[in-house]
């Protein structure tokens, strides 16, 4: 989530690739029957219910101007660029224009690559609405601080968010890089984050992945009721959603010195099969009250949280070391929902009762209103800014 230089970003992508090259190749082979592209136009933005890709690059930006016209121009430019990139095309005049005395419109690092099932999802923060004089909906108020939070301002918040997910890390990096470039003079990067090894399954057809603690994550994550309805929010947000972002540092060294029995008691699942403790299959129906009182699975279950559900779309990250002999590693948690109070309910409970708190610390936080989809001839944010 810290703002990274281009060299650092590519270095991190390379580091992740060294660790997971074989896995990436296997996943590309296994997903050969999946579409190479996802449609940009539609009622909802792609990248929410879309079957989750293997790689993430996400960036939050802050406005450098409060001129509404400049923001409109940016959203129009982003719309055109995203439509082309998600189709596997270069943006504007491309990376190799006929006239070579000016910078190319496309940075070129995706030349020769497929679209890689790229999706780009755009949202706005409450702070953006404040700056351009648009009333915030009550649901877009800043998230509260939860027990145990150690949030850093520099890696929290943001006026805009752009989430790029793809099966190729370079395709995702290319998308964010070009959108940031188009934002020059209107917005600048506040923080950005690379992620790999999706930690959730947003489709029942996907195999449940494992997080950096080695446990299957996102077994019960096929939630589709995440879009704002006409009676629930401002007109400009209908068919959009809310996105909560949390950067969660994981003390993996301490976890690695913990016995398997304690690990399983902490999570509430068997590490090997992913089954709830006492059961044999990952998808066996679980009864929360039969799991350890403070296990993560029990405390995160909707039945313990008034029915609150989240569509998780998180990724693992390793951002070098922390300077103290430990890896700077963890979970870049992202979740979509119709109302942020669902997350507040769940996280308030987890912060107070989850045994996993011994091994994790929340260091970054943000809430965004994710814009509805774009119809042909329209542009991102038209209902908000048009």
User: What is the per-residue burial (b if ≥16 Cβ within 10 Å, else e) of 80-109?
Assistant: ebbbbbbeeebbeeeeeeeeeeeebbbbeb
306 domain-assigned: yes
Residue 29 in this model has a pLDDT that exceeds 60: no
User: What are 333's strand-pairing partners?
Assistant: 246
Give the pLDDT confidence of 315-362 residue by residue, as tens digits.
999 999 989 899 999 999 999 999 999 999 999 999 999 999 999 999
For residue 369, the 8-state DSSP code is E
Nearest CA among 158, 163, 130 for reference residue 143: 158
- Contact present, 46 and 199 (Cβ < 8 Å): no
86 domain-assigned: yes
Residues in the chain: 386
260-269: average pLDDT: 98
Q: Which pLDDT score is estimated for 9?
A: 42
99 domain-assigned: no
Measured in degrees and rounded to the nearest 5, phi and psi for residue 360 equal -135, 150
1 domain-assigned: no
Overall domain count for the chain: 1
Model confidence, pTM: 0.89
User: What are 329's strand-pairing partners?
Assistant: 318
Give the pLDDT confidence of 43-100 residue by residue, as tens digits.
999 999 999 999 999 999 999 999 999 999 999 999 999 999 999 999 999 999 998 9
Instruction: Give the C-alpha separation, 206 to 74, whole Å.
Output: 35
Q: Which residues contact 40 (CB under 8 A, 6 or more apart)?
A: 46, 82, 83, 86, 87, 120, 374
Domain extent at residue 333: 6-91+111-385
Instruction: Give the C-alpha separation, 345 to 364, whole Å.
Output: 18
152 domain-assigned: yes
Measured in degrees and rounded to the nearest 5, phi and psi for residue 17 equal -65, -40
Asked which of 30-39, 260-269, 332-341 is least confident by mean pLDDT, the reply is 30-39
26 domain-assigned: yes
Asked which of 110-114, 181-185, 221-225, 259-263 is least confident by mean pLDDT, the reply is 221-225
194 domain-assigned: yes
323 C-beta neighbours (distance < 10 Å), count: 7
CA 303, 308, 312, 318 dihedral sign is negative
Instruction: Give the C-alpha separation, 311 to 50, whole Å.
Output: 11
98 domain-assigned: no
Instruction: Give the C-alpha separation, 48 to 50, whole Å.
Output: 5
């Amino acid at each position: 989530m810290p703002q990274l230089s281009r060299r650092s970003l590519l270095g991190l992508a390379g580091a992740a690739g060294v660790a997971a090259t074989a896995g990436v190749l296997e996943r590309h082979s296994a997903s050969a029957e999946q579409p190479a592209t996802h449609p940009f136009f539609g009622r909802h933005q792609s990248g929410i219910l879309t079957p989750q890709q293997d790689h993430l690059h996400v960036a939050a930006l802050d406005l450098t101007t409060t001129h509404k016209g400049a923001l409109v121009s940016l959203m129009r430019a982003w719309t055109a660029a995203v439509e082309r990139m998600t189709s596997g095309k270069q943006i504007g005049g491309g990376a190799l224009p006929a006239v070579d005395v000016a910078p190319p419109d496309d940075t070129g690092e995706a030349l020769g690559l497929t679209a890689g099932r790229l999706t780009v999802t755009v949202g706005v923060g409450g702070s953006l609405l404040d700056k351009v004089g648009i009333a915030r909906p009550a649901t877009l108020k800043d998230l509260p601080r939860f027990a145990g939070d150690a949030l850093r301002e520099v890696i929290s918040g943001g006026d805009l968010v752009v989430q790029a997910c793809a099966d190729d890390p370079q395709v995702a990096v290319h998308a964010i890089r070009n959108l940031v470039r188009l934002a020059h003079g209107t917005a600048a990067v506040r923080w950005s984050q690379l992620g790999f090894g999706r930690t959730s399954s947003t489709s029942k057809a996907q195999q449940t992945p494992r997080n950096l603690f080695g446990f299957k994550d996102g077994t019960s994550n096929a939630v589709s009721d995440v879009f704002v309805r006409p009676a629930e929010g401002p007109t400009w947000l209908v068919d959009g959603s809310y996105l909560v972002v949390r950067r969660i540092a994981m003390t993996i060294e301490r976890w690695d010195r913990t016995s398997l029995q304690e690990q399983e008691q902490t999570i509430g699942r068997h590490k090997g099969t992913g089954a709830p403790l006492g059961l044999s299959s990952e998808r066996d129906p679980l009864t929360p009250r039969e799991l350890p009182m403070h296990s993560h699975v029990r405390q995160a279950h909707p039945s313990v949280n008034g029915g609150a559900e989240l569509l998780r779309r998180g990724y693992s990250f390793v951002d070098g070391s922390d300077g103290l002999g430990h890896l700077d590693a963890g979970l870049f948690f992202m979740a979509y929902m119709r109302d942020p109070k669902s997350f507040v309910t769940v996280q308030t409970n987890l912060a107070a009762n989850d045994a996993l708190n011994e091994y994790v610390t929340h260091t970054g936080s943000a809430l965004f209103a994710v814009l509805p989809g774009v119809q042909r001839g329209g542009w991102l944010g038209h209902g908000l800014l048009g």
